[in-house]
């Protein structure tokens, strides 16, 4: 990979995708940015932000970090050819599926060394809007733009690439992948570099559908069954655990950390990208642990709870109650478990209505499960809340 050098030739423009789905990955991107800065291998590391939510290239918004002023794509390009452009993304935004961002990559790749840093592991790439193919790349000199790369794809790229199509490497965030790309850019030789890439074209036609048809299924039972079929076992287990509590990023992270300590961030990403959840808050920066920002679709929470164990739902309720002990709504989860007959029902407010609704769903689901055996005392959680009426 890149090493500290006396003659640091290149700058880096790190373009961070800030579409809604990237909220989960921002800590990972910040860590990568700090790594680039600590390496000392670059003259400068400049950070830009790209909102890939827009399906049309003209509507994509590119800004410098800390600024709301829109920038043109040419502003990232160094006239001397000594700036690398690296786009950090999960490829979930609408602009990736429509081809809008690929058109932008083609413009950058025509004049600068350009690559996509995929924040998700390769096993999840098919959930996004890019379909990179195995490729062998070779550069005639250090620091050349992508349009000058020689590319040999193992299989023909999909579609008919135009004459201006440019190979854009798509890299997994790992030392091995980044090392291959760094050698291609900084120390090219006679050997070929094996990686994955797309052929980006400025003339790419927008797709008519942005969401796979299977993600539009309305029936809750079928939605859960489909997710169980395509998801990893850990992701399905996590979805069942999260069904017992209100949802925002801090709570979801805490439940995963405690209940599935051997899982990584990609497992939570599977749940968030499953189509089972919708964002309910318009403010992606919301950090109040008592305010849910996501909700399962109609009937999905109950279906997921029915697939799990009552004891696990109890553990999660206690976990969230302890974690949010300073908030009456979250604290009530633990109280309803530990003292189902004696705990007070919080006064219904706009803030806690969704939380009480979740407790009501938990109660209904627990009544459908097999009654506890004598070896499982005090498992009838939320029994005292079965009369709740939340509107």
For 17-49, what is each residue's pLDDT tens digit? 999 999 999 999 999 999 999 888 889 999 999
Task: Tell me if residue 14 falls in helix, strand or coil.
Answer: strand
> Are residues 311 and 293 in contact, defined by beta-carbon separation less than 8 angstroms?
no
* Least confident piece of the model among 107-111, 143-147, 307-311: 307-311
Do 178 and 250 fall within a single domain?
no
Residues 187 and 263 in one domain: no
Looking at the domain assignment, is residue 240 inside a domain? yes
Does some domain include residue 226?
yes
Query: What is the chain's length?
Result: 391
* Residue 287 CB burial class (10 angstroms; 0-12, 13-18, ≥19): exposed
Residue 69 to residue 384: CA distance in whole angstroms = 54
Q: Is position 359 within any domain? A: yes
Residue 362: partners with Cβ closer than 8 Å, 6 or more residues away: 244, 305, 313, 317, 381, 382
- The DSSP code for 70 is B
**CA–CA gap between residue 253 and residue 381 (Å, rounded):** 23
Asked whether residue 41 falls in the same domain as residue 130, the answer is yes
380 and 253 assigned to the same domain: yes
- Which range scores top for mean pLDDT: 149-153, 161-165, 218-222, 366-370? 149-153
Name which of 137, 73, 140, 84 is nearest 112 in CA terms: 84
Highest mean pLDDT range out of 110-114, 305-309, 314-318, 352-356? Answer: 110-114
Q: Is the pLDDT of residue 142 over 50?
A: yes
Residues 266 and 167 in one domain: no
Asked if residue 218 and residue 195 are part of one domain, the reply reads no
Say what the pLDDT of residue 351 is: 52
Domain, as residue range, for 68 = 11-200
Q: Look at residue 321 in the predicted model and tell me its pLDDT.
A: 84
For residue 4, tell me if it sits in a domain.
no
Cα 38 to Cα 189: distance, rounded to the nearest angstrom:
27
Quick one: 257 and 375 in the same domain? yes
3-state class (DSSP) for residue 274: coil
Domain count, the chain: 2
Angstrom distance (rounded) from CA 10 to CA 86: 12
Residue 72, pLDDT above cutoff 90 = yes
- Tokens representing residue 236 in the block: 């399905």
pLDDT band at 388 (very low <50, low <70, confident <90, very high): very low
In a domain, 206, yes or no: no
Residue 356 dihedral angles phi and psi, to the nearest 5°: -65, -35
Per the domain annotation, does 166 fall within a domain?
Answer: yes
Please indicate, yes or no, whether residues 189 and 249 belong to a single structural domain of this protein.
Answer: no
Q: With respect to residue 55, please indicate whether it lies within any of the assigned structural domains.
A: yes
> Contact at 8 Å (CB) between 165 and 154?
no
Residue 248 pLDDT more than 50?
yes
Whether residues 117 and 173 share a domain: the answer is yes
Q: Binning pLDDT at 50, 70 and 90, where does residue 280 land? A: confident
Residue 317: per-residue pLDDT? 86
Whether 367 maps to a domain, the answer reads yes
Degrees to nearest 5, angle at CA 297 with 312 and 92: 100
Give pLDDT, residue 203.
73
Element (H, E) at 290: none
- Shared domain check, 251 and 116: no
Q: pLDDT tens digit string along 79-108?
A: 998 999 999 999 999 999 999 999 999 999
Give residue 372's pLDDT. Answer: 43
The reply to whether 192 and 221 lie within a common domain is no
pTM over 0.75: yes
The helix, strand and coil proportions of the chain, stated in percent and rounded to the nearest 5, come to 40, 15, 45
Residues 155 and 222 in one domain: no
CA–CA gap between residue 379 and residue 68 (Å, rounded): 52
Non-local (6+) Cβ contacts of 125 within 8 A are: 91, 118, 131, 132, 170
User: Which of 124-133, 213-222, 326-335 tops mean pLDDT?
Assistant: 124-133
Q: Are 113 and 78 in contact (CB under 8 A)?
A: no
Last residue of a domain, one of 179, 200, 221: 200
């Amino acid at each position: 990979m890149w090493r500290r050098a006396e003659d640091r030739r290149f700058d880096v423009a790190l373009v961070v995708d800030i579409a809604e789905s990237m909220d989960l990955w921002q800590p990972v991107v910040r860590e990568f940015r700090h790594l680039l800065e600590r390496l000392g291998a670059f003259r400068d590391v400049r950070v830009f932000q790209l909102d890939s939510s827009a399906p049309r290239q003209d509507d994509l918004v590119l800004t410098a970090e800390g600024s709301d002023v829109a920038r043109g794509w040419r502003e990232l390009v160094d006239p001397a050819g000594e700036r690398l452009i690296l786009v950090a993304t999960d490829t979930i935004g609408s602009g990736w599926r429509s081809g809008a961002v690929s058109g932008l990559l083609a413009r950058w790749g025509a004049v600068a060394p350009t690559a996509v840093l995929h924040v998700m592991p390769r096993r999840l790439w098919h959930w996004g809007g890019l379909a990179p193919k195995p490729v062998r790349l070779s550069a005639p000199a250090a620091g050349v733009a992508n349009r000058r790369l020689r590319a040999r794809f193992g299989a023909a790229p999909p579609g008919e690439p135009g004459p201006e199509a440019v190979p854009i490497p798509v890299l997994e965030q790992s030392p091995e992948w980044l090392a291959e790309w760094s050698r291609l850019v900084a120390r090219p030789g006679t050997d070929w570099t094996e990686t994955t890439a797309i052929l980006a074209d400025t003339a790419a036609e927008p797709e008519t559908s942005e969401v796979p048809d299977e993600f539009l299924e309305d029936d809750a039972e079928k939605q859960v069954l489909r997710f169980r079929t395509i998801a990893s076992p850990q992701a399905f287990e996590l979805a069942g655990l999260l069904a017992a509590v209100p949802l925002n990023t801090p709570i979801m992270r805490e439940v995963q950390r405690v209940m599935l300590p051997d899982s990584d961030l990609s497992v939570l990403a599977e749940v968030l990208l499953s189509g089972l959840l919708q964002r309910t808050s318009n403010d992606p920066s919301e950090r109040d642990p008592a305010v849910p920002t996501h909700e399962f679709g109609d009937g999905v929470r109950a279906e997921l709870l029915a697939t799990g164990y009552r004891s696990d739902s109890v553990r999660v309720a206690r976990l969230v109650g302890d974690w949010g002990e300073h908030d009456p709504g979250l604290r009530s989860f633990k109280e309803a478990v530990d003292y189902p007959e004696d705990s007070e029902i919080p006064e219904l407010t706009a803030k806690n209505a969704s939380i009480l609704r979740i407790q009501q769903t938990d109660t209904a689901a627990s009544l459908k499960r097999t009654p506890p055996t004598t070896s499982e005392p005090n498992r009838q959680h939320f029994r005292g809340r079965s009369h709740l009426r939340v509107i």
